[in-house]
A and B are shown apart, each in its own frame.
Chain A
Amino acid sequence: MNCEEAKGRWHEVFDEGASDRAADEHVRDCAECRRYVDHMTRIADMLGELHRETESVVSHRDSLERHQAPRRIVAIPFGRLGWLSAAAMVGLAVGVALYFQGAEADRPGAGRGDFQVTSDQSSDVEATKLGLSLHGVSAERYLIVARPVSEPNVQLYRLYPALRHEENEATSLEGL
């Protein structure tokens, strides 16, 4: 058996598990082949170490993901452009939210600061006009409880939007 055959047999033995006495004897007597086999064995060991390391990394990562999910979120590798994009998205979201909040406030009959009229339609109109014509004070801050126009003592209540109590500053329309 020559050196090339012996080297080829080493790989077959390594991969298939069959032993070869002739190849063993050649390697024992040949310094070059002994060195070759030694190198190949070391390479196989190194790759085995790499296998164990990759196994550890994947297993460790899996356990992190299963038990410490937030950590992965922190570790998102944002580049400079990524952070700029994120900031732009947040700004856009805030802008849209503010826009819709303003639109909601402007919509009659709902939302923060609306004034409500609890009476029949004609009185509603009158009361609404009254509410809007309270000079110097935003009408939106008032809840007007209107009674029929024929009744003189229509009460006006100041309403703080967050509280929506009808207890503050009861004032007769006549007084206004």
Chain B
Amino acid sequence: MGEKTDSVIPIDSDSGALPMRACSSPPADDKATWRDARDQLVRLAYRFLWNHDQAEDVAQDALIRAWAKADELRDRDQWWSWVCRIAVQRCRERGRIRQRRSKHEEKLRHELREGRKPDEPAGRERHEALPKLLDELPRRQREVLVLRHLQGMAVAEIAGVLGLSPSTVRVHLMVGRESLRRLILLRHPEWLEG
């Protein structure tokens, strides 16, 4: 059993993503900081919705609401968790009426792959199918897996965002991974057995 770090995925400094902990209180009147927070929220929402336009809407909506209600927040250290919670809630609402990924979105992904070192066919298939498998998981399991593995949050941060205890988050993570494993073995066993 290997050593693991605090976060599964280190925040990529090249991407301009804001480390979660650096944004624990409301940003001052600093456009760059607000933009970083917005970019981070777009990433979070995109990993739930798989649609960039909708992700931008969610990020903007969450930030506007957070900005308007910032004075009502009792614990300002929880600001970022609170904003993320608003964003996740918005994603849930939009997820119910979610549309398929736009053609432009598909083209963008295709261009990205063209510009990069070509993926092996199995990798391409996975990138298309894995989000759909995640969508099939129960809501809580999907949310904790997305926040942990795709957004790179630690268990305590996920607990803050979803309003759950850390132990509950750990249980959802374990059950979620096992559910995903069962789905993969059912639909794409070659991903795990190859």
How close is B139's CB to chain A, nearest CB, in angstroms?
17
| B26 contacts chain A at the CB level, 8 A cutoff | no
Number of chain A interface residues as a range? 35 or more
The answer to whether B15 touches A54, judged by C-beta atoms less than 8 angstroms apart, is: no
Return the chain A residue nearest B146 by Cβ: A47
Return the chain B residue nearest A20 by Cβ: B1
| B73 contacts chain A at the CB level, 8 A cutoff | no
User: Considering only CB atoms and an 8 Å cut-off, how many residues of chain B contact the other chain?
Assistant: 50
A48 to B105, CA, bound (A): 20
Please report whether the interface of chain A is mostly helix, strand, loop or mixed according to DSSP.
helix
Binding-face segment, A36-44, A100-108, A138-146:
A36-44
The residues in A between 64 and 102 inclusive whose CB is less than 8 angstroms from any CB of B are 64, 75, 77
Question: In the assembled complex, which residues on chain A have CB atoms less than 8 Å from the CB atom of B184?
Answer: 39, 43
A58 to B46, CA, bound (A): 8
How close is A48's CB to chain B, nearest CB, in angstroms?
6
The answer to whether B177 touches A61, judged by C-beta atoms less than 8 angstroms apart, is: no
The answer to whether B155 touches A16, judged by C-beta atoms less than 8 angstroms apart, is: yes
The residues in A between 19 and 72 inclusive whose CB is less than 8 angstroms from any CB of B are 19-20, 23-24, 27, 37-44, 46-51, 53-62, 64
User: Known contacts A46-B191, A62-B39, A77-B103: does B47 contact A54 (CB below 8 Å)?
Assistant: yes
- Report which A residues bind B (CB closer than 8 A): 8-17, 19-20, 23-24, 27, 37-44, 46-51, 53-62, 64, 75, 77
- The number of inter-chain residue pairs (CB within 8 angstroms) is 117
C-beta contact mask, B37-52 vs A, less than 8 Å → 1, else 0? 0010011001100001
The answer to whether A15 touches B148, judged by C-beta atoms less than 8 angstroms apart, is: yes
The answer to whether A55 touches B4, judged by C-beta atoms less than 8 angstroms apart, is: no
Given A40-B177, A75-B104, A77-B104; 20 other pairs, CB 8 A cutoff: A11-B173, A13-B2, A16-B170, A19-B1, A20-B1, A39-B181, A39-B185, A43-B180, A43-B184, A46-B126, A47-B145, A48-B8, A48-B149, A49-B123, A50-B126, A50-B127, A51-B152, A54-B150, A55-B43, A57-B52
